[in-house]
Amino acid sequence: MNHAMAALPEWASYFHLAAVALLLLALDTARAVYQVLASRDGHATRARRLALAMAGWLLAVGGIWTAIVYGHGAWERAGAHNCRHLPALDARALYAAEYCYLRRDRLLLRVYDVGRDGVLARRTFTSVEPVRLSWDGQALVYDAAAPGAKGRLMLPPTLRDRLLARLP
């Protein structure tokens, strides 16, 4: 059994936790519906109270889940090492980039504003091959084989990328 668990990717544990949380929420919902329908007296009051309790539980589980996933990512990014700067295309370039190794085959890509040296965007990705970054006219390509825009960081970075880059 230990060998089977070792073969699973690291992120698979998050899905197991999510499945347990969803199972508990489903059981709690069934219990709530049973309690509401158990008797006619105070039917509306019980329904309202249980609906608020369920909303609170959903918000709590969502908040905890977000904290776990973000904390794992921040812990991983804190171990960045062997950073390498990617030269810009020309002197008029607005952006600079660097990539750092994390652990195993994970890499951290950062895009900087050349004028202010502030981080504008970052991506964490997996690459078992040598790193091949290239500047496209509209993006920084970090995985040319990825379908669609999955292996590209659009320039200028989106508002979402800029906001996430400000977090540790």
Q: Are residues 94 and 155 in the same domain?
A: yes
User: Are the C-beta atoms of 143 and 149 separated by less than 8 Å?
Assistant: no
Q: Are residues 70 and 89 in the same domain?
A: no
Instruction: Please give the pLDDT value at position 162.
Output: 86
Which of 77, 109, 136 marks a domain boundary? Answer: 77
- pTM of full prediction above 0.85: no
Among candidates 82, 122, 120, which has minimal Cα distance to 100? Answer: 82
Q: Which range of residues forms the domain containing residue 27?
A: 2-77
All residues at 6 or more sequence positions from 125 whose CB lies less than 8 Å from its CB, including other chains: 106, 107, 109, 142, 143, 151
pLDDT tens over the chain, length 168 residues: 444 444 445 556 666 777 777 788 778 777 777 777 777 777 778 777 877 887 888 888 888 888 888 888 888 888 888 888 876 666 667 788 888 888 878 888 888 887 767 888 888 888 777 778 887 777 888 877 777 777 788 888 888 888 888 877
Instruction: Please give the pLDDT value at position 21.
Output: 76
pLDDT single digits (tens) 30-40: 777 777 777 77
* 30 residue type, one letter: A
Q: Are residues 121 and 70 in the same domain?
A: no
Instruction: Please give the pLDDT value at position 1.
Output: 42
Instruction: Please give the pLDDT value at position 8.
Output: 46
Q: Are residues 148 and 86 in the same domain?
A: yes
Which of 11, 45, 77 marks a domain boundary? Answer: 77
Domain total of the chain: 2
Residue with tokens 């669609």: 148
C-alpha 154/C-alpha 162 separation (Å) is 12
Q: Are residues 126 and 141 in the same domain?
A: yes
Q: Are residues 156 and 87 in the same domain?
A: yes
Among candidates 138, 94, 139, which has minimal Cα distance to 113? Answer: 94
Instruction: Please give the pLDDT value at position 133.
Output: 80
Q: What's the token pair of residue 72?
A: 């794992």
Which of 47, 62, 77 marks a domain boundary? Answer: 77
Instruction: Please give the pLDDT value at position 10.
Output: 58
Instruction: Please give the pLDDT value at position 9.
Output: 53
Q: Are residues 61 and 131 in the same domain?
A: no
Instruction: Please give the pLDDT value at position 135.
Output: 78
C-alpha 5/C-alpha 1 separation (Å) is 6
User: Are the C-beta atoms of 36 and 50 separated by less than 8 Å?
Assistant: yes
